[in-house]
Structure 1
Amino acid sequence: MTLNPKLDSSCVLALSFDEESGNIAYDQSSYGNDGTIYGATRVRGLIDKALSFDGVDDYVDCGEDESLNLTNAITVEVWMKTDIAKNFQGLVDRKYNDDGSWSLYLQNNGVAFATAIPGDRIKTVAVFDYTGAWHHIVATFSLSEEKQKIYIDGDFKAESTRSTALQEPTYPLNIGRARLPDLGHYFNGTIDEVRIYSRALSEKEIKTLYYYGIQSLRHTPYLLK
C-alpha cells in the first residue's frame, strides 16, 4: 500500500518500505532508484510497513542516479517518528559541505534543511517538538522563487532566500543518516513514505499529501502515540 497511489510525474523517488523481506526498498516512481537497506528493520508504519533505524549505523543508500541530481528545484518529503530529541539526526541527505549539496536533518529543537554551493551555505530551521508522534516533514527549494522552505504537518513554517542553483551532488542519496560533512549523524526512530520531486511543491499540494497520511493515522489511532 502506498501513501498516494497516483504519484506526480515529477516524483523521482518514492519509497514506502512495504516489502515483506529483503534488503531492497523498491522505488515506486518510474526512475528505479531502489534503496539498499543497511541494518534498518521493517516495523509497523504510517501505512503498512516502515523502517526502524537504531541511531548507530542504520541507513538506506539510494545511489546517485542523474534523476536525483536536482539543482534548480527540489522537494524532499518524509514521515518520521522518534522519541529522542538529539542534534544532527539525518533524515534524507546528499552531503552538506563546502563543496555543495543538501541535507534534511533533525536538530535538538526542530528540523533543518541545509543547502550549499562552494562558498555559500544556507540553513533553514523550523523549531518544534518532534518527539513522541508521527510528523510530516517537507523541504523545498525553487530557484525561480529564490526560496528554500520547510513545512511541518502540512503548514509552512520557515524559509530562507537562495538565489543560486544548488551544486550537483557528488555523494549518494542516503536515508537515516547525514554527512554534515562527516559521517556519524544517524537517525533514531521510524521513517516511512519518502518522496523526492524535481520541482517545489506548492503549499496546497503539501497539505494534500499531509492529509493522506493523517487519514491513515485516524483509522489506526494507536499509531499517534
Structure 2
Amino acid sequence: MKRIFTLLFVLPLYFSFSQTARNIDAKNHCYLIPDSMIISGLTPGVEHRVTVVANGTISAPMQGLFFMYAEQGGEHKYNFVPIGSSFLFKPIAGFYQLAPIYVDWSTKNDNSGSMTVSVALSDKYYVKDSLTKLLLYFNENSGDFAYDSSGNSNNASNTGAVITDGRFGKARNYNGSSNWMLVQDANSLDITNQITVEMWVYPTERKMINLISKEGAYQFYIFDDGTFSLGVYSGYPWHQITSNQIVPLNQWSHLAGTFDNTTKKFQLFLNGMKIKDTIDVNASLTASSEPLYIGRNGSANVYHMKGMIDETRISNTTRSFSPITSVANFKNIVKSPAVFKLSQNFPNPFNPTTTINYDIVQRSPVRIVIYDEIGKEITTLVDGEKEPGSYSVQWNGRDKNNIPVSTGVYYYSVLTGQEVQTRKMLLLK
C-alpha cells in the first residue's frame, strides 16, 4: 500500500515536498522518504531543536518517526522521536541531510492513507506564542540588558552576570554572591490564573538558589540539597511543590514548574519528564507590584545563583512537556561489518595513550581486557552489550586503580559471546 508523506520544515528554514514512501525493511515495517532534504547554513557547535508534529489518515496507530541525518561525507545517525515531542542535536558542520523514516509496528496492509509531517528546526529552544509573557534568550554579545522576545518588553537589566557560551547560543554566568538580573514589574507578569516557569540551568555549587523571585507572587528555586521547587504566595506561608529528584551539578538541566489557580494543581518537570504533581487547595496566585529577580531572592538579596542560566520563559498557561532527547542518544546507522575484527592498536609503540579499533558482527556482550606479559589482568576497557558496528576505545596506560603501568609488552583481548581475539602492543616511556 502507498504511504504519502508531506514534510514541512519551518522556523527558521522553510522547505516543502511530497513523496511516496518506499519499504526499506519489511520485517520492521519501515518506510523512508526517498529524497531527503539538504539543509545548509546551520551554525556549527550551536544546539538545534527539532520538533515533530504529524497528522493524517493513516489507519493504523503511529507511534513516531525515526529522524535520520547525515553530515556531508559523514556517517548516518538517527533518533526515534514520538509524535509531538522533540530532540536536540549540535551540528559540527553547516551542511546536513535530514529525512524521516516512518515506523509501523502494526500489520503492514492495514495502514494505507496519507500523512502530513511538520518539522520545526530552530537554534532556540523556546518559541514565542500568545501565552508567553517573558522570553529571554540571553544571546546578546555585549551590553547591560537581556532583551525580552515575548513582545511584552520585559527586558532584564544585568548586575555583574557574565556573558558566556550557553546551552543554546549565549547564556549568563553568575558568581554566587553579587550577580543577578532584574525585570521591572509589569501587568504581563502579574499572572493570577495559570503559570508555567521554565529555564535551562547549570549550577556549579550545592547551595540555596533563587532562580526566579517575584515577591508576593511566585518563586522558583533550588534548595541546598539539590531539590527544586515552585511556590506561589497568597499570604504567609508560601505554598509550594518540591521535587524528590535533585538537579545535577556541572551540567545543563531543563527545569519547569506549573500551577493552575482553578484546580490548585502543581506540577514539576525535569528535562521534560514530569517528576511530581500535587494539589494544594490553599494555594493561590496573586498579583504583586514587586520586580522580578533572576538569580537571587528579592528584597533580602540572598540565595544567589552560582553557575549559568540560559533560555528562560514565563507563560500564562500550564504547559505540557515531553522528554528532552539529546544527540548523545543518537545511534549510528552503518552497514554491519562482515566479520568480527580486532585491529592493531595505533600508535604502537605508544606513550601513554593508544587507540584500539574493533568490529562487532551481531549484538552481543563485549569485554576488552588488558593483560601483562604473564597474563595478569591490568584493566578492563569495555564491559557491556554492543550493537553491530565499528567501535574504538582508548587506553591511557593505567591499571584498574588508575596507576600508570611500566614500560613493557601488553596484550589486549576482545571477548564476545562467540569470538575471542588478542593482539600485542608495546608501551615505551
Task: Calculate the TM-score normalised by the size of structure 1.
Answer: 0.84
Q: How is 1:14-53 mapped onto 2 (pairs within 5 angstroms)?
A: 14-53=135-174
Name the structure with the higher strand share.
Answer: 2
Contact 2:125 2:168 in 1 (8 A): no
> 1:104: which partner in 2?
220
Cα distance change of structure 1 residues 93 and 20 upon mapping to structure 2, 3 Å threshold: same
Displacement after TM superposition at 1:8 (Å): 2.1
> 1:65: which partner in 2?
186
Contact 1:91 1:187 in 2 (8 A): yes
**Partner Cα distance (2:194, 2:165) in 1:** 32
Match of 1:197 among 315, 319, 325: 315
Report whether the alignment pairs 1:92 with 2:212: yes
**Partner Cα distance (2:128, 2:248) in 1:** 27
**Partner Cα distance (1:45, 1:14) in 2:** 16
Contact 2:136 2:148 in 1 (8 A): yes
> 1:185: which partner in 2?
303
Contact 1:18 1:50 in 2 (8 A): yes
**Partner Cα distance (2:329, 2:158) in 1:** 29
Q: How is 1:73-152 mapped onto 2 (pairs within 5 angstroms)?
A: 73-86=194-207, 88-95=208-215, 100-109=216-225, 110-126=227-243, 127-152=245-270
Displacement after TM superposition at 1:90 (Å): 1.1
Max Rg structure: 2
Displacement after TM superposition at 1:218 (Å): 7.7
| One-letter amino acid of the counterpart of residue 191, structure 1 | I
Greater RCO, 1 or 2 (C-alpha within 8 Å, sep 6+): 1
Contact 1:122 1:160 in 2 (8 A): no
Contact 1:138 1:152 in 2 (8 A): yes
Displacement after TM superposition at 1:2 (Å): 5.3
Displacement after TM superposition at 1:182 (Å): 2.6
SS in 2 for 1:207: coil
Cα distance change of structure 1 residues 2 and 58 upon mapping to structure 2, 3 Å threshold: farther
Contact 2:228 2:247 in 1 (8 A): no
Give the ranges of 4+ consecutive aligned residues of structure 1 lying more than 6 Å apart after TM superposition: none
Cα distance change of structure 1 residues 94 and 218 upon mapping to structure 2, 3 Å threshold: farther
**Partner Cα distance (1:57, 1:130) in 2:** 23
Name the structure with the higher helix share.
Answer: 1
Structure 2 unmatched runs, 5+: 1-121, 331-429
> 2:295: which partner in 1?
176
Report whether the alignment pairs 1:162 with 2:280: yes
| One-letter amino acid of the counterpart of residue 284, structure 2 | A
Superposed CA RMSD: 2.1
Displacement after TM superposition at 1:201 (Å): 0.5
Cα distance change of structure 1 residues 129 and 175 upon mapping to structure 2, 3 Å threshold: closer
**Partner Cα distance (2:329, 2:311) in 1:** 17
SS in 2 for 1:118: coil
> 2:100: which partner in 1?
none
The total of aligned residue pairs comes to: 206
Contact 2:213 2:219 in 1 (8 A): yes
Cα distance change of structure 1 residues 142 and 50 upon mapping to structure 2, 3 Å threshold: same
Structure 1 unmatched runs, 5+: 220-225
**Partner Cα distance (2:293, 2:153) in 1:** 15
Displacement after TM superposition at 1:129 (Å): 4.2
